[in-house]
């Protein structure tokens, strides 16, 4: 195929054979979020570039090298959203729905765009489910977010394969004092740092903690620790969070090097990581951002949130073979009709059954065909039962009811009794 007719590198089609698993995953998360009292918000995919620069921070990987930015026909600089928090904060401010301390528990789902090197678990268009809570500043809500994800991993059958990493970045004052101490220490070891870290030391020193370079990691072993610089309030917040996780029985690992790639975090930061996906091990990440709303021009408003990568979690379900059997079956019943008269009767019958059983997945054969070919299609559809309308059935006003997966013999069912019969033998999703 000529290059211009291919999808953009790192931007994937999700094919029909994959969408059942996506919908199962998304449906499971959506139900959980509903049950915990979160409300969905939908933001545009494109925003003014300035929004991301102001919120994510000018000297982060995302803003420095990963954004899809372009000028529109008015000459405005626009950017495909690389994440959801910035737009969500913009939306709540624009609509005044966090004013006066009003609590908002919001979630969103959709595509995000980052110009990264595509590889397994890392794409240029990827999908997140994210969540933001405004105007709740205690550790109880941080704990709720983590508890909710813990429940999700349990429901999905992947709890044993993920690990919670936790850290506190403190308030911006304590982080400022820590930054100074870190810069002093790292400057004294400047020559042993890799080039990237030398640069970050000047622009965004906390990010040095994030390095993958072994020599720099060796230097970091004796570096000052954020935990020693936490102010009393941040310390109490962190202890409150840990006590709650202990109470629910959620294991965690303290990771003093966990700083996250975005500038806006304060106090709690966390990541759920797995060793089942190779290098792209973080499946869900988030934290508290008490200063962000004010930094974006709003009144002081605390915030906490996270985002999970849908591709990585779907990959995990596949890798760990945690795919519920029922999701791969998309047809319950397949109706075969032979001859024009039977086709008409079949169509009317199918509509009557659909009236009575709105959740039944009933597929009517299209394109006519011989007995053999229609049966082949019925079988291939994955249906549990075939319904048959031929000359004999038409004469008797019945329909042949044939189990396709080896549960018993074919029977004849009167047209009027069909819906009631199907209701007893098909578990409706």
The closest residue (CB) to ligand ATP is 309
Establish if 178 lies at the interface with ligand ATP (CB under 6 A): no
Q: How far is the CB of 47 from ligand ATP (least distance, A)?
A: 16
Measured CA to CA in angstroms, residue 99 lies from 104, 193, 405 at distances of 10, 45, 58
**Which residue from 169, 219, 283, 418 is in contact with ligand ATP, where contact means CB under 6 A?**
283
Q: How far is the CB of 363 from ligand ATP (least distance, A)?
A: 34
Task: Note the Cα 375 to chain centre separation in Å.
Answer: 39
Establish if 55 lies at the interface with ligand ATP (CB under 6 A): no
Q: Which is closer to ligand ATP, CB of 126 or CB of 150? A: 126
| CA torsion, ordered 352, 355, 361, 367, to nearest 10 deg | 40
Q: How far is the CB of 34 from ligand ATP (least distance, A)?
A: 22
Q: What's phi and psi for 79, nearest 5 deg?
A: -140, 135
Establish if 346 lies at the interface with ligand ATP (CB under 6 A): no
**Which residue from 12, 282, 330, 363 is in contact with ligand ATP, where contact means CB under 6 A?**
282
Q: How far is the CB of 365 from ligand ATP (least distance, A)?
A: 40
Q: How far is the CB of 120 from ligand ATP (least distance, A)?
A: 10
Write out the E strands in 292-397. Answer: 303-309, 333-337, 362-364, 385-389
Q: What is the DSSP letter of 252?
A: -
Q: How far is the CB of 168 from ligand ATP (least distance, A)?
A: 17
Q: Which is closer to ligand ATP, CB of 113 or CB of 338? A: 113
Residues 251-270 that bind ligand ATP (CB under 6 A): 261
Q: How far is the CB of 85 from ligand ATP (least distance, A)?
A: 9
**Taking Cα atoms as reference points, which of 19, 16, 46 lies closest to residue 111?**
46
**Which residue from 280, 319, 330, 363 is in contact with ligand ATP, where contact means CB under 6 A?**
280
Measured CA to CA in angstroms, residue 273 lies from 33, 72, 253, 349 at distances of 21, 38, 11, 52
Establish if 200 lies at the interface with ligand ATP (CB under 6 A): no
Q: Residue 366 has which token pair?
A: 């299209």
Q: How far is the CB of 123 from ligand ATP (least distance, A)?
A: 4
* Lookup result for tokens 């936790």: 166
The neighbour count for residue 393, using CB atoms within 10 Å, is: 21
Asked whether the beta carbons of 401 and 334 are under 8 A apart, the reply is: no
Instruction: Tell me the site size for ligand ATP, rule CB under 6 A.
Output: 19
Residues 74-113 that bind ligand ATP (CB under 6 A): 83
Residue 7, judged by CB atoms within 10 A of its CB (0-12, 13-18, 19+), counts as: exposed
Q: Which is closer to ligand ATP, CB of 175 or CB of 312? A: 312
3-class DSSP string for 72-122 = CCCCCEEEECCCCHHHHHHHHHHCCCCHHHCCEEEEEEEEEECCCCCECCE
Q: Residue 68 has which token pair?
A: 């899809």
Binding mask 112-151 for ligand ATP (x = CB under 6 A): --x-x----xxx--x-x-----------------------
Q: Residue 237 has which token pair?
A: 């917040």
Establish if 194 lies at the interface with ligand ATP (CB under 6 A): no
Q: How far is the CB of 22 from ligand ATP (least distance, A)?
A: 14
Quick one: which segment of 132-140, 189-197, 305-313, 362-370 binds ligand ATP (CB under 6 A)? 305-313
Q: Which residues bind ligand ATP (CB under 6 A)?
A: 83, 114, 116, 121-123, 126, 128, 261, 280, 282-285, 307-309, 311-312
């Amino acid at each position: 195929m000529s290059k211009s007719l291919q999808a953009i590198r790192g931007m994937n089609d999700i094919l029909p054979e994959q969408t059942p698993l996506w919908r199962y995953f998304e449906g499971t998360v959506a139900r959980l979020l509903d049950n915990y009292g979160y409300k969905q918000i939908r933001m545009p995919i494109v925003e003014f570039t300035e929004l991301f620069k102001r919120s994510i921070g000018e000297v982060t990987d995302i803003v420095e090298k990963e954004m899809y930015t372009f000028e529109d026909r008015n000459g405005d600089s626009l950017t495909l959203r690389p994440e959801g928090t910035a737009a969500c904060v913009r939306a709540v401010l624009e609509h005044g729905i966090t004013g006066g301390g009003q609590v908002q528990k919001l979630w969103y789902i959709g595509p995000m765009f980052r110009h990264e090197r595509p590889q397994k678990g890392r794409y240029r268009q990827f999908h997140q489910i994210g969540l933001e809570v405004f105007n709740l500043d205690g550790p109880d809500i941080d704990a709720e977010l983590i508890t909710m994800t813990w429940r999700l991993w349990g429901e999905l059958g992947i709890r044993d394969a993920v690990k919670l990493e936790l850290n506190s970045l403190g308030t911006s004052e304590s982080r400022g004092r820590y930054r100074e101490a870190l810069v002093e220490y790292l400057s004294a070891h400047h020559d042993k740092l890799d080039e990237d870290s030398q640069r970050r030391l000047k622009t965004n020193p906390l990010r040095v903690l994030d390095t993958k370079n072994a020599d720099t990691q060796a230097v970091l072993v004796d570096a000052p620790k954020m935990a020693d610089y936490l102010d009393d309030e941040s310390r109490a917040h962190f202890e409150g969070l840990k006590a709650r996780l202990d109470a629910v029985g959620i294991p965690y690992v303290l990771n003093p090097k966990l700083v996250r790639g975005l500038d806006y975090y304060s106090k709690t930061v966390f990541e759920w990581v797995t060793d089942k996906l190779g290098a792209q091990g973080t499946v869900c990440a988030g934290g508290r951002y008490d200063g962000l709303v004010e930094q974006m021009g709003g009144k002081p408003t605390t915030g906490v949130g996270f985002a999970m990568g849908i591709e990585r979690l779907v990959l995990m379900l596949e890798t760990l073979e945690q795919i519920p059997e029922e999701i791969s079956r998309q047809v319950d019943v397949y109706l075969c009709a032979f001859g024009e008269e039977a086709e008409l009767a079949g169509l009317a019958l199918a509509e009557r059954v659909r009236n009575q059983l709105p959740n039944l997945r009933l597929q009517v054969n299209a394109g006519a065909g011989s007995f053999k070919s229609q049966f082949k299609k019925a079988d291939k559809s994955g249906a549990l039962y075939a319904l048959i309308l031929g000359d004999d059935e038409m004469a008797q006003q019945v329909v042949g009811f044939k189990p396709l997966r080896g549960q018993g013999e074919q029977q004849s069912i009167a047209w009027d009794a069909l819906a009631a019969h199907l209701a007893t033998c098909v578990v409706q999703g």
